[in-house]
Structure 1
Amino acid sequence: MVQQYQSPVRVYKHPFEMVMAAYEKRFPTCEMIPVFVGCDILSDVESEDKATHVVERRCKLNVDAPRLLKRMVGFDYIYFVQKNALNRKERSLKISAHNESFSSRVLVNETCQYTVHPDNPNWTCFEQTASMEIKSFFGFESTVEKIAMKQYTANIKKGKEIIEYYLNELQTNGVKYIPTWAEENPHLVASQSSSNSTVSTASNTLMEDLTETSATDKLEEDYIEHILGVLQPIEESKLIQLRKWLADTHNGKIPRDDHILRFLRSRDFHFEKAKEFLCQSLSWRKQHQVDRILSNWKAPETLEKYYIGGWHHYGTDHRPIYVLRLGQMDTKGLLKSVGEEQILRHVIYIMEQGLQKCRESSVLRNKPMSSWTCLLDLEGLNMRHLWRPGVQALLRIIEVIEANYPETMARLLIVRSPRVFPVLWTLISPFIDEKTSSKFMMYTGTDYLECGGLVDYIPTEFIPDFLGGVSKCDIPEGGPVPKSLYKTEWEKGDGVALWEDTIYKSANVLKGAPHEVLVEVPERDCVITWDFDSVKGDVTFTLFHSTHPLGKSTLSTHNAYCHVINNAGCIEEDTHMTLGKDYTIMEAGIVCREGESVQGSHIARKPGSYVLQWKYHGGQPQSSTVQDVLYQVTHNPKSKVIYYHELLPSENFRGSMTSLESCQSAFSALSHVTTSS
């Protein structure tokens, strides 16, 4: 395996000649580099006009390695060969180094160069590249690699400190300025004779081996620190490598540096993983024209009015804050009125706004800012929000955000989570990256207003009023989405609201012939959930529990534990079963009017057979004319429902069973208002 390192451009705000004088003080030994024991000069060639000077040294290093490892491989010191090619006329120093010890097992190559800053002749730039390949090392390859990288990064950090130290020492000793070669040799400046301008063959070879790159393609160390934040040397190297690869493969068109850095961080600075991850996202952005969304897209009026979220001031760390009141949002109504694609696009729009606000905050505060805080209020969250298409849409949104906006959320502050939250978390947590989920902070009750709560991240004057603060939050009030805004795309065939890949089933409920679904519960504390709409007529929903096994001969398999009972086999009309003895009503009949929706759940305290029943609910005829009687004789009254149900294993909810009690078989406040609209 080959390890690569590429440094950013380090800038010394001193002339090249002063930096060279400081650099020479490192030899033959340097107290500030304890691993550098000493060096021997192998060759020293200087041109007659002193314009070029090439020195080759054999350096002795005392590597900080375990004593046992040193004894096993039989070494105390490591030897490197270093060649310095100084060109005073062009004001540049090019350095190459390679290991002499264990060169058949480990290959280390390093190149460095000091040059004049392209924009300021009184400043000096330093760059460094290195590679290390471990072929074999007595079975200690991994250990040697870790030791080498640790030693190397430590020396990188020390390098700048040492040069700065000797620069200060020179100035303290009265050396403020050193003339350039051109100033010392004005009579030779105009002459371009080969004898006075040619470096030795060895020097030429070295310089040809060093690839020159455009200054505009390079990142300066100060830029990284002030614009992107403090990075470790290896992290800086990965950023520069990925940036260069993108420039080479994308015709010079590369994303912002902070964007590249987010993808590297999300993959722990693993170059190949980050490269693949970023390229997929760049293709996605191009395909969906995401870079133009802030200027070219406007949210539908329904989203602007009923999507209860918005930006709200800045946190204590000056990060933008986004407030989302998911518990109060009519997610089902939004999906039916604008569709999943528009909601997803709206979320992408919000994410792009967040990136823009981070950049604005960085400029305003003169501090790197690449992520924001999200305040999530879950008050009002109920089984209605667990409507399967809604959960599927949420999972898709999470998938898109995870794939294209990594490391954009500094923290997620969750407040007022209701008792149904464990169900939702069980459904979505497998799709959330572990690093992302570690940023979730949940507050129960009202402790979020105390020390250690929201005040740690949000200034007291900016805590929203609906959470007990004093700041008015400028976000939509929301509410139930009127059914008049629902799109007709949801209707298929005879008006049953289904998706192409729907998990919902439809059933006709005839008068006198209820539709029933059998759910076999294998153990106590499983959770039965249901979600249904009455798309035609009115129905009454009831949940039964039978102490006796129901006849499997009349059932058609639905899944491992769920079966559909033949409509002719109504549990209430079975002459062999008695209410209160053979079966009991677990959830009293709920009347669902045409066009209404019902979501609910029940904790099965006993194993056995549970029956979900939908019964036709019809009132008395308004008149008894001959025509009405004839119609009733020739037309069998019926209703139609679409439904989905699920049995959730108890192991997913052990320890939180009582938290689900509030969800049992009733209209939530939001669903009740919605169905009445």
Structure 2
Amino acid sequence: MSGRVGDLSEQQQKKLNEFRQNLSDDLSPRHDDHYLLRWLRARKFDLSKSEKMLRDHLIFRKQMNIDGILDWNPPEVLPKYMPGGICGHHKDGGIIWIEPYGRIDPKGIVRSCNKSDFVRYKTKFCEIILKDFQEQSKKLGKIVDDVIVIVDLDTIEYHHIWQPLVDAYNAAFTMFEANYPEVLKICFVLNAPSMVSAGFSLIKPFLSEDTTHKIKFLKSNQLQVLLEYIDPDQLPKAYGGTRTDSNGCPQCKDEICWGGKVPRSYYVNKELQEIENLQKVSIPSKSSHYVKLEITEENSVISWDFNSDEAIIFGIFKKNKAEKEKEKDLKIIQSKAKYNSNQVPESGKIVCIQVGLYVLTFENTNILQSKSVRYNVEVRPPMNENTTKAKEHCNETSVHPSCNHCSAIG
């Protein structure tokens, strides 16, 4: 049995019923059987693992304001220079995503937006794809729930595998794996040179075994394989199909961004010395530095900026009461990860959907030497009557940097 609606074993149906009952406090009418089965299949119908995965996802949606992400305008550099786009539908009705990664300007992208905006941009497209699934399902009269990804590595060189950009992609992959299970149908990689094995080894640890098996490297037979899944009128002419955009472009540039060199005028990552109230700490080898914040109002926003003289481990945890605890006893809000903030300053924000003690941790895993970290951490108030009024002057599709409302929800 496939574990999909209409194709469940007696045991799978029993687990689906129990899964729904266990999550009844958090579910809404839109969480139908098809939705729940995605999470069960992702964890091989292990109820405890599936429940944790879905509950973590629902928290993620609140913390990152995902329900409002379709109205979010990303930094202009991303839609103008970040390669990729939705182009047509495959034979089963799902979206086709094409990403000509070899045309990316790694340093230009990373220096023109922070990692959180990069990940949020990728998340927005995930939500666009889910919305298209619903529309296609109604149009075709059947469930449409998967996407074909085509990654084109033509013109890729070693400088494209720049660690800060790899970090940004790994964060996006981690987000995708945790929050959009059972969405990828297959990923075709085109024009891959031999050097790609090194780059893939950096990304592979962030992918599940199931996702890894869906990645197919195509060579001389690429058109034959693509046409097994995609009709010619849905495949750009540049890849052997017949599709062009409204201007007759064979690369469908109206739908797919083909990257390019990012003008320096887009660079926004400034030196941290420009930030007020900057703290500097030296973290001994095999030690951690903790920044503790008592959050007394729900939906307050924690924002941070930091850099270091060497790569550093950063994560965010929470405890309900403001008392000393070991890190292992704290709830994970943002998993610890390695940040190459010695190359590019790091910044981000998160919404605190619950009150309590939040702990930001900087960890030095080096066994021989200390590391220096410079950081600034702020707590912004939650949306209230004043910020709600302030929102009235904000266009739904624009963000005003000087506006408290805009700066709070990003």
1:468 is displaced (CA, Å) by 3.4
1:484 is displaced (CA, Å) by 1.8
Match for residue 517 of structure 1?
none
Map 1:176-575 to 2 at 5 A: 228-247=5-24, 249-250=25-26, 255-294=31-70, 296-444=71-219, 446-450=220-224, 453-472=225-244, 473=252, 474-489=255-270, 491-493=271-273, 500-501=307-308, 503=310
Structure possessing the higher relative contact order (Cα contacts under 8 Å, 6 or more residues apart): 2
1:504 is displaced (CA, Å) by 6.9
Map 1:78-93 to 2 at 5 A: none
CA separation in 1, counterparts of 2:234 and 2:144? 20
1:403 is displaced (CA, Å) by 0.8
CA separation in 2, counterparts of 1:229 and 1:348? 30
Give me the TM-score of the superposition, normalised by structure 2.
Answer: 0.62
Contact 1:305 1:478 in 2 (8 A): yes
Q: Could you say which structure has the larger radius of gyration?
A: 1
1:502 is displaced (CA, Å) by 5.7
Deviation readout 1:333-366 (Å, 9 max, x if unpaired): 1111022111111100000111111111111111
CA separation in 1, counterparts of 2:170 and 2:309? 16
Could you say what secondary structure the match of 2:186 adopts? strand
The gaps in structure 1 that reach 5 residues or longer are 1-152, 154-223, 506-531, 534-558, 561-677
Letter in 2 for 1:500: N
Map 1:120-135 to 2 at 5 A: none
1:488 is displaced (CA, Å) by 4.0
CA separation in 1, counterparts of 2:84 and 2:142? 27
Could you say what secondary structure the match of 1:337 adopts? coil
CA separation in 2, counterparts of 1:357 and 1:254? 15
RMSD, matched Cα: 2.7
Contact 1:319 1:369 in 2 (8 A): yes
Contact 1:327 1:382 in 2 (8 A): yes
CA separation in 1, counterparts of 2:233 and 2:117? 34
CA separation in 2, counterparts of 1:381 and 1:492? 32
Q: 1:233–1:291: structure 2 CA closer, same or farther, 3 Å change rule?
A: farther
Percent identity, aligned pairs only? 29
CA separation in 1, counterparts of 2:27 and 2:141? 31
Letter in 2 for 1:467: Y
1:438 is displaced (CA, Å) by 0.9
Contact 1:372 1:408 in 2 (8 A): yes
Contact 2:147 2:183 in 1 (8 A): yes
CA separation in 2, counterparts of 1:365 and 1:229? 18
Deviation readout 1:47-88 (Å, 9 max, x if unpaired): xxxxxxxxxxxxxxxxxxxxxxxxxxxxxxxxxxxxxxxxxx
Contact 2:133 2:145 in 1 (8 A): yes
Could you say what secondary structure the match of 1:323 adopts? strand
CA separation in 1, counterparts of 2:15 and 2:159? 46
Contact 1:414 1:443 in 2 (8 A): yes
The gaps in structure 2 that reach 5 residues or longer are 245-251, 275-304, 313-341, 344-365, 368-410
CA separation in 2, counterparts of 1:385 and 1:499? 24
Give me the TM-score of the superposition, normalised by structure 1.
Answer: 0.38
Could you say what secondary structure the match of 2:156 adopts? coil
Contact 1:299 1:346 in 2 (8 A): yes
CA separation in 2, counterparts of 1:415 and 1:499? 37
Q: 1:342–1:371: structure 2 CA closer, same or farther, 3 Å change rule?
A: same
Contact 1:308 1:477 in 2 (8 A): yes
CA separation in 1, counterparts of 2:110 and 2:118? 8
Counting matched residue pairs gives 276
Q: 1:354–1:252: structure 2 CA closer, same or farther, 3 Å change rule?
A: closer
1:272 is displaced (CA, Å) by 1.2
Match for residue 300 of structure 2?
none
Contact 2:100 2:258 in 1 (8 A): no
CA separation in 1, counterparts of 2:167 and 2:258? 25
1:416 is displaced (CA, Å) by 1.0
Letter in 2 for 1:230: D
